[in-house]
Structure 1
Amino acid sequence: MREKYALKFSFDDKLLARIKVRINKKFSSPAKALEYLLRQNALTYQLQDGVYVIYPAMALSTKSSSVGKWDSKISGSISDKTSGETLPNASVLINGYNVSCDEMGRFTFISANDSVFGLRISHLGYLVKDTLVKSGMQHKFQLIPASYKIKEVTVVHQVEKSLRTTELPGVIRANNLIANNLPGNGNASVFNFLRLMPGFLASGEQSQSMLIWGCYEGQSQLSVDGYTLFGLKNFNDNISPVNPYIVKDIKLLKGGYGAQYGGRVGGMVDITGIDGNTYKPEVKVNLNNLTVNAMASTPVGKNLSLTGAFRQTFYNLYDIEKLNPFRGDNHSTTTTSRTNQSLTAPNQQSGNDFQPNNASQKRAAAIEQPGNNTPSAPTQSNTTSVYLYPDYMFRDGNLKLSGRTNGGDSYFVSMYGGLDKFDYSLKDSINNSPYNFDANQKSTQWGASSGYNKLWQNGNRTAFNVAYSFLDVNAQTTNNLSSPGNESGNSKKENIIREYKIQAENYFTLSEKHSLVFGGGITGNSYNYDEILNSKAEETLKNDVQLLNGYATDQIYLNRSLTLKPGLRFDYSFLQHQMYWQPRISMNYQICDALKTAFSWGKYNQFIAKNYVVDKFGNYQMAWMVSDGERIPVPAAYHWVAGGYFNKSGFSASVEGYYKSIDGLYRVARSQGQNPGQSQTKNYYGQGRSAGVDFLVKQQYGRHYAWVSYSLSKTDEFFPDIMTKYQSAPQDQRQELKSAVILDFKRWICSANYVYGSGFPEYMRNLELSSAARNKYNRFDISLSYRLAPKRFNMQTGFSILNLFDTDNVKMSGLFQNSGNSVSSEKVLSIYSHTIPFTPMLYFELSF
């Protein structure tokens, strides 16, 4: 029949091999003949896209609410074939409908017309799987990694690379497979990858602050396995705040996201950690000239694994400056009595929004840069600059226990601890005046979470999660400027922020066209901000808030091209006894197989914020605070996002436009009171707005990969007490261009990336915008690595050069400013953070 009538069949070989047929009969059509033959053997068929799909006549079905109508249901889970690792948020196309998986890689789908389902399953960095299955529960699908490490493999198939932008408007998904091949330290830093995405600020190297689509520091959230990381320092994007060895999936939500996400008015970076290898022990070790990173995973029982990871910085193995071919070209050769300190004049970039440098003042700038590096700065008159080499230490550790039951349930316990500290000192003479300055800062971060994911017999799912986070930042400075009218200025500042969360989330598939996600829980936050100036304690800022929250999102398939996601979230503050309603909605329309459009809108509230605190000497620190709705307002923002996406034959392009408005910005400044030693505190309240457009073009050719992104944006703020109109916010950057190319020749991998930024605004005293030109940013990195896979282990080694052309760049904001005990003093110390200079890095990685 197949050859004579050119028919197409899909069937189970083993099923049909057991059947023998002898018949001598005439039929009016091939379909009639096929129906007769199958019915005699308890089989049936469906015609799908010209293909006769043969399967057993008995299929699992459930009766729908319509009388006499039966629905077929399918559910399943998706995992890594090599390690058994579940694949969160995988994409599943079932009979033309897009179905989303949860964080455990599970999905459920109901059809009123089909009992056989054609599935197209994809996940970033894995081969796409196309298959046909009958209706049934708890199917298990395994995907093969695109970088499957065996001696030789030939695969003729489409590969879903490690980057996708078309899931929802404002969403970019990635995993750490592609990050490993980008320039860096060979440590697969996830932020090395995110900084190259449109809308995620790379200029100024502020990745720890996650400035996304014009948002302020602290308005975006980084969460790992459900617990929040409030922020540790990192070495210029090379030591990521999250260990790449424990990362399985990265979801970047720039704005307009759904009701299940709350507590921020900016963006979200949601990271799912690995579960560990349930098949065999696994060890990975990465060593470079700045850090060591190690990870081990082992099965500890049936379907149970334990994973641990640890990182530690240490002193450079070699002097980077001796390898710098640009040394002496861009740097002044004048030195002070301190070894290898170059003198030059810094840019007038101010990190202090309330007491910034005045152009007429003389000031000394000490540049903070982790590592043994010597950056330079733009020239400005009447300024002396001294470059310092701080002592810097970073370490963190992860521990995770995860497992699955025979019934398909899963559970985990994840813990994290991190510590970073740096200190530097200056004992010298500035303009013939003796000067003594010491500074140190220590940050301690803890996080833990636990979850149980229940799979019900009907395919629906419930997830229970508990999480706790803690951050303690201690900063201390000793400032002694020997000059008439100035006394020693000593300060101690401590900022603590805590958070706990208890959440439950449910996934219900109601019908072929409706799937509902709803949940809720309790969130608690508390903070302390303590400040001691010259042994005199200032007012302690502290508060705590408990929130009851709930949300629901209905995914409605209006047809196979149009999907609507209305949602509603509420947060009830027990501190204010007030309800905050946050409606949200998104829509995507599939114009054709290659082209899609999307739109989203939503309201967002934030109950903790990172605000500026400026002391009476002009020193500032960003501090975490809890919003009480009175003194510290609850920020409220509205997001509008629209985009178009094209994807065909390895080429993809996207364009996204956005507009954000925010109310409830807050800053606090302290000034000298009328009596000696007395301080006055003043609160500033403001609002902001941001608009822009992102472009992203990607091309995949075989194993090679390249993309270019461009962002055009404008971010303004308005504080009525100190401004007469909207003006550029500190993080406002009008243009940013980023590109990357990865050439994968199996054993040899070459890569490069480039970032250009048009620069940030500069401020003078009282937040008056300076007329000075913005300082542009550009940085070019390259990398070359070699990988080898012997029988018992895998090895990769290589080198990277960061900032190949040693371009002078300044971070977005300064760190410290002081003029002794008088802000009107002629001698002002400003400490700026410069970005990474020419930095070669060698690494070696071993895994088995």
Structure 2
Amino acid sequence: MNRIIILLILVLIHSNISAQKVIIDVKDQALSEVLIDLRDTYDFQLSFNNNLLSQYSVSVNKSFQSKDRAIEFLLRKFPLNYQKSNEVYLIFPEEKIVQHRVFGQILDKESLEPLPFSHLTINDLPMATDEHGNFSFTSHIDSTFRILASHLGYFIHDTLINEGPNQNILLTAASTDLPEIIVTDKIVQTFIRMGNQSGNLKLNHKIAGFLPTNNDNSVFELLRLQPGILAAGEQKDDLIIWGSYEGESQVLFDNITLWGLKNFYDDIGAVNPLVVKNIEVLKGGFDARYGDRVGGIVHITGKNGSKLKPTLNLTLNNITASGSYEQPIGKRSSVLVAFRQTYYNLFKDEQIKYGTSNISLQGQTNQNTDTPSFLDLNVAPDYKFHDLNFKFSTNWENGDNFSVSLMGGEDRYSYDITTESFTNAKKHKFEGNDQFGGSINYGKVWNNGNTSSISLSRSELKTRTSDVVSISRIRTDEEFFRRDDKSRNKIMEHRATLKNTFVFAEDQNFETGINYINNEVDLKEDSLDINILHIKSKADRLGYYFQNNLNVSNGISIKAGFLANYPIKLKKLYWEPRISLSLQLTESIAVNGAWGLYKQFITKSSVLSANGSYRYIWVGADEKEIPVLESVHHVMGASYHKNGFTLSLEGYYKKTDGHTRYYKFRNEGNISTGQSKSSGLDVFAKKDIGNHTLWVSYSLSKTTEKFDYFNNIEYRRALHDQRHEIKTAGLLALKPFYISANYIYGSGFPIYSQRQEVVAEPDYTRLDAAIIYKFAPKKIKCELGVLFHNILDTNNITYESYERIPLNQINSISIYTETVPTSVRLYFKISI
């Protein structure tokens, strides 16, 4: 009896299990018929469109553990979906989402040069092109796109285009040299654009040629005329942006890091203006794509060269000869070569003024120590400079592009000073810089409109200095003091970067990338031919960034992301979160804000010598003696644009930890770490009246610092702290004549005594002007210009630290190099 009961139970279990299985064995049978058989055999409850499902045929020989799995398997290859409601399977067509996509490139109509970081509004949604001028946009609603494209110095282009790839948009330059072409029905974006991104501004270098900036240094002269970038003091080696220290801001040219911006007397800068296409400045609060600096970023994009016709530019002034040549290769490639060469000694036969304090040349004490007096010394500096640029670029029909950019430059600067009082003091100073760099860049436009780019770059700066001081008695000519200091500093960088942009939706895209950076620093210092210092460091790091760009309705744009760096030597991961917000309140009014954490793994440490002068050396962070620089940026701003008038307000607060300073105490070298605080407000106003432009900017700023070696723990003013700076500029376009002027006022930097007390804070003022005449005989474009530097002949002091020259064992003379003296520069430019 028990056996019979067990047998009945097993049969019952087997029958239940068999009832749960669904077996389908069909070949080339309509899906609708298969479902009807399932309904009749396994009691399926179904609801579907018989005509729709009869279009699909299936072949299946398989068993399924449940009804759900059977239905999912049958529908998996077809655009069908189902929903189960009260044991009834509702089968319906899958909703097909149609994506309409448009992508292409913004180009210069005359030369077909890509226009990087151009502004676009597509179907009322704002966006910007990448560094190659590429854009991509996706819509689920309409296959026709309204595009409003603009770039500084070009007429705004408003057009309707249909979906599809390679939709190139050609913009017409506003600074045309042909007076017979008059455009009266289009708006033009000129000179400067204060974007709705915190701390960001774009500069039109084409228009910069009309300003009273020397044509061999218009790039950095134009930069220093902008709010938040220090102009007073005319520093020669670096840009000071929003209170950043030397070495904390980065200048990139075609993805090549520029280490030295030598610019003696504002005549020559590190970048040849003839090869510059676009300048973008990120003063602070920038997004996750940029890193490795706690200050600002200046991104300069070089010209690709004309692909339409050979172009020759030659410029000759009373100091330098420069030129460029652009040669098309086929229809899609070009080569650009440019050079600059000094042919006349900048300082020859000129007596350079120097400021002195503590003691006069006749050995009498200077009673007025608040403002250094300027005296003529027997100084004849010698200066030589030359550089060369080369670039090859090509692009394909699908939008891909490739370029190779090379640059190299050398400068040599030296002078001798001789003083005769109760002793003979002689000083010889020499500095030589060699900068080389190159980059390979490839951009890919995928079929779905996403873009990728890869960049490989190498840059190097070698600096050699020599400083010899000797003091002897007048009567016996016996030398009783001598100092002979020499240094050799080399910094090199290898960088590889992969960037990607993914268009996720109409109002959203992702940006992501990886990079590898290698820096090597080598510093040797000798004194009287004895090696006193040799620092050799290497910093390798891997980086990854991710950023989500979201355009919400009602003009709200949000960028949120992070940058992660892993220094291989430190074996530690460093996170740098970033977020920014912009809000377009009306067509004319916008507000923005940003917050971010920034880290820097190589730093330019200051060196405080025993005589109180400063100099700077590159070193790598080791988290022992040299910490990783860390800064937090808080930025807020607002802007107003209407009828050619622009008003912008921008406030910031930065706190930076990890500054290092070498100093001597009781004849022993020490390393001190410090912190700094920077805060300020930039006010910018610009008005375009027809073809004329006028702008004024005001910067209110404060930078304080605290180092371990201070006698007290209080913050004190940094060497580059300046409370007020006002800069104005104007351009009158009276074709064919162009008249311009700019004026700079700075309230001055603190000058510290050997006791670290502020003894002076002299103001800085400078007025420049220019008159340019343009003419075009036989279709050859020509310019003739006269540039007037420092018209008021004000005796300003450079930001670079002054030097003290000992006259004997007790007294010394402090030397302050004078800034640009009153001078006139003539130039002639021809373009064929």
Q: With structure 1 as the length reference, what TM-score do the two structures score?
A: 0.83
Cα separation, partners in 2 of 1:381 and 1:262, compared to 1, 3 Å:
closer
Q: Does residue 114 of structure 2 align to residue 94 of structure 1?
A: no
Answer yes or no: is 1:469 the counterpart of 2:459.
yes
Match of 2:721 among 702, 724, 732: 732
Assess if the C-alpha contact under 8 Å between 1:548 and 1:573 holds in 2: yes
Partner-residue secondary structure (3-state), 1:70: coil
Q: Matches of residues 626-637 of structure 1 in structure 2 within 5 Å? A: 626-637=620-631
Cα distance in structure 2, aligned partners of 1:787 and 1:382: 43
User: 1:289, CA displacement in angstroms?
Assistant: 0.9
From the superposition, tell whether residues 213 and 618 of structure 1 become closer, same or farther in structure 2 (CA, over 3 Å): closer
Structure 2 CA distance, aligned partners of 1:704 and 1:381? 40
Q: How does 1:324-363 map to 2 (within 5 A)?
A: 340=351, 346=356
Select which of 140, 144, 151 maps to 1:123: 151
246-255 or 434-443, larger mean C-alpha shift: 434-443
Q: Which moved more, 1:308-317 or 1:398-407?
A: 308-317
Matches within 5 A, 1:256-405: 256-315=285-344, 340=351, 346=356, 386=377, 388-405=379-396
Say whether 1:780 aligns with 2:767: yes
d(CA) in 2 for partners of 1:703, 1:816 = 47
Q: Does 1:644 align with 2:631?
A: no
Shift of 1:769: 2.9
Q: 1:618 Cα deviation (Å)?
A: 5.3
| Counterparts of 2:352 and 2:437, CA distance in 1 | 39
**Structure 1 residue 388 displacement after superposition:** 1.8
Q: Give the aligned residue type for 1:555.
A: N
Alignment of 1:62-461 (within 5 A): 67-155=95-183, 156-187=185-216, 189-206=218-235, 208-315=237-344, 340=351, 346=356, 386=377, 388-429=379-420, 431-461=421-451
* Contact 2:215/2:273 (8 A) holds in 1: no
**Maintained 8 Å contact 1:749/1:784:** yes
Query: 1:485 & 1:286 partners in 2: Cα distance?
Result: 49
Separation of aligned partners in 2, 1:262 and 1:630: 22
Map of 2:819 onto structure 1? 835
2:730 and 2:505 mapped to 1: Cα distance? Answer: 44
- Please tell me whether the aligned partners of residues 232 and 420 of structure 1 are also in contact (alpha carbons under 8 angstroms): no
Residue 782 of structure 2 is aligned to residue 817 of structure 1? no
Change beyond 3 A, Cα 1:620–1:733: closer
- Per the TM alignment, residue 829 of structure 1 is displaced from its structure 2 partner at its CA by 4.5
Task: Give distance in 1, aligned partners of 2:459 and 2:378.
Answer: 36
What's the secondary structure of 1:578's corresponding residue?
Answer: coil
Structure 2 CA distance for partners of 1:313 and 1:384, relative to 1, 3 Å: closer
The 1:694/1:764 distance shift into structure 2, 3 A limit, reads: same
Conserved 8 A contact 2:200-2:280: yes
* 1:797 paired residue number: 784
- 1:696 paired to 2:684: yes
Secondary structure, in 3 states, of the residue corresponding to 1:448?
A: strand
Please say if residues 567 and 583 of structure 1, whose CA atoms lie closer than 8 Å, have aligned partners that are also in contact: yes
Tell me, in whole angstroms, the C-alpha distance in 2 between the residues paired with 1:110 and 1:711: 41
The alpha-carbon deviation at position 620 of structure 1 amounts to: 4.1
Q: Cα gap change, 1:682/1:635 in structure 2, threshold over 3 Å: closer, same or farther?
A: same
Q: 1:161 Cα shift?
A: 0.8
1:415-461 deviation per Cα after TM superposition (whole angstroms, max 9, x unaligned): 110111111113442x2212222111101101110011011111111
Which is worse superposed, 532-541 or 477-486?
477-486
Q: Which residue is equivalent to 1:760?
A: 749
Q: CA deviation at 1:151?
A: 5.0
Percent identity (aligned): 35
What is the Cα-based RMSD across aligned positions, in Å?
A: 2.4
Q: Which residue of 2 aligns with 1:49?
A: none
Amino acid at match of 1:637: S
Contact 2:145 2:161 in 1 (8 A): yes
- Provide closer, same or farther for how the CA distance between residues 796 and 187 of structure 1 changes in structure 2, counting only shifts above 3 A: farther
Q: Secondary structure at the match of 2:274?
A: helix
CA offsets per residue over residues 737-788 of structure 1, 9 Å max, x none?
Answer: 000000011210000000000000111225x232x34100010111111000
- Give the drift of 1:103: 0.7
CA contact (8 A) 2:407 2:438 kept: yes
CA distance in 2, matches of 1:378, 1:765: 13
Q: Given the alignment, which residue of 661, 669, 675 partners 1:667?
A: 661
Alignment partners' CA distance in 2, 1:827 and 1:396: 42
Return the letter of the residue paired with 2:684: L
How far apart are the structure 2 equivalents of 1:519 and 1:129? 31
- What letter is aligned with 1:841? R
Stretches of structure 2 that go unaligned for 5 or more consecutive residues are 1-79, 81-93
Contact 2:347–2:381 (CA<8 Å) still a contact in 1?
no
Provide closer, same or farther for how the CA distance between residues 833 and 67 of structure 1 changes in structure 2, counting only shifts above 3 A. Answer: farther
Counterpart of 2:140, as a letter, is A
Once residues 185 and 819 of structure 1 are traced to their aligned partners in structure 2, the CA distance between those partners, rounded to angstroms, is 36
State the match for 1:46 in structure 2: none
CA displacement at 1:177 relative to structure 2: 1.1
SS of the aligned residue for 1:457 comes to coil
Give 1:294 deviation, angstroms: 0.6
- What are the equivalent positions in structure 2 for 1:443-592 lying under 5 Å apart? 443-482=433-472, 486-592=480-586
| Deviation for aligned residue 1:535 | 1.6
The AA in structure 2 aligned to 1:520 is I
- Distance across 2 between alignment mates of 1:419 and 1:381: 33
2:704 — aligned with what? 716
Separation of aligned partners in 2, 1:447 and 1:757: 35
CA contact (8 A) 1:229 1:469 kept: yes
User: 1:53 corresponds to which residue?
Assistant: none
CA deviations over 1:308-341 (Å, ceiling 9, x no partner)? 11011232699997xxxxxxxxxxxxxxxxxx57
CA distance in 1, matches of 2:459, 2:233: 27
**Residues 190 and 204, structure 2, Cα contact 8 Å, conserved in 1:** no
CA distance in 1, matches of 2:176, 2:306: 15
Summarize deviations over 1:354-412 as a string: whole Å, max 9, x none.
Answer: xxxxx5x77899xxxxxxxxxxx998689976352300111111101111123221000
Task: Letter of the 1:780 partner, please give it.
Answer: L
Give the aligned residue type for 1:563. Answer: S
- Tell me the SS of whatever aligns to 2:168: strand
How far apart, in 2, do the equivalents of 1:530 and 1:319 lie?
A: 32
Higher gyration radius (CA)? 2
Alignment correspondent of 2:731: 742
Distance 1:757 1:85 in 2: 38
Deviations 1:164-207 (A, max 9, x none): 01241111101211110100334471122111110000000126
1:826 corresponds to which of 782, 790, 810: 810
Give 1:324's aligned residue: none
Q: Which structure is higher in RCO with an 8 Å CA cutoff and minimum separation 6?
A: 1
CA distance in 2, matches of 1:487, 1:773: 29
Whole-Å Cα distance in 1 between the matches of residues 174 and 237 of structure 2?
30
State the alpha-carbon separation in 2 of the partners of residues 530 and 188 from structure 1. Answer: 31
- On the 8 A contact 1:364/1:383 being kept in 2, the answer is no
Superposed displacement of residue 817, structure 1: 3.3
Q: 1:142 aligns to what SS in structure 2?
A: strand
**Distance of 1:382 and 1:744 partners within structure 2:** 41
